[in-house]
Amino acid sequence: MLKVIFLFCFVCIAISLQADIRDYTKDSLYPCVQCLCHARTGCWRRRNCAMYSISRDYWTRAGSLVVSPSDSQLSDGGYDKCMRDENCIVGTIIEYTKSWGEMDCNCDGSFNCKDLAAIHLFGRKCERPMFGSVYASRFNHCANRIGVSDMLTQEGGDLCTVPDAQ
């Protein structure tokens, strides 16, 4: 009987710990993350995006997300495991961009997917982002499907200034 109680308690604890891991693939920003990753790598796999876009410092700024509660945020293992997990990669990108606040990087009067892409690539120095023709073309191919306006190779005008972020 004691074994049954122990097993029941273990399962309840495991379920409650798993509930702490947010499903970022259901986030409203997920389609945008798909587009910025496709633009960055030319591929649809988030692992490629992680390989080319998410450094350990980037991951740390995003809050050092982990795949499971038992993973260590302080070890290389936690970072490496996150970079192999779709949800953790997407969450890292979303949390990183949120960490800088809703900066209107291209000065179009709103915070949108193009600003998210600029923050992903340039952090707080996202003012008048220079995306380049290949990145803009890849982004536009994807973004048109989710209702985002076309990205220019350089966004924002001469009067565009973004306030300093923390």
DSSP state of 106: T
- Cβ(146)–Cβ(31) below 8 Å: yes
Helices (H) and strands (E) in the chain, counts: 8, 0
pLDDT at site 15: 36
What is the rounded end-to-end Cα distance, in angstroms, of the chain? 56
| Partners of 154 in the β-ladder | 130
Domain residues of the chain, as ranges?
27-146
In sequence order, the 6+-apart residues with CB closer than 8 A to the CB of 21 are 66, 67, 68, 69, 87
The pTM (predicted TM-score) of the whole model is: 0.78
pLDDT at site 17: 37
pLDDT at site 92: 95
Residue of 112, 102, 77 lying closest to 162 (CA atoms): 102
Q: pLDDT (tens digit, 9 = 90+) per residue, 5-64?
A: 443 333 344 333 344 678 999 999 999 999 988 888 888 777 778 887 899 999 999 999
Q: pLDDT (tens digit, 9 = 90+) per residue, 95-154?
A: 999 999 888 888 888 888 889 999 998 888 888 778 888 888 988 888 888 887 777 777
Residue of 161, 138, 141 lying closest to 52 (CA atoms): 138
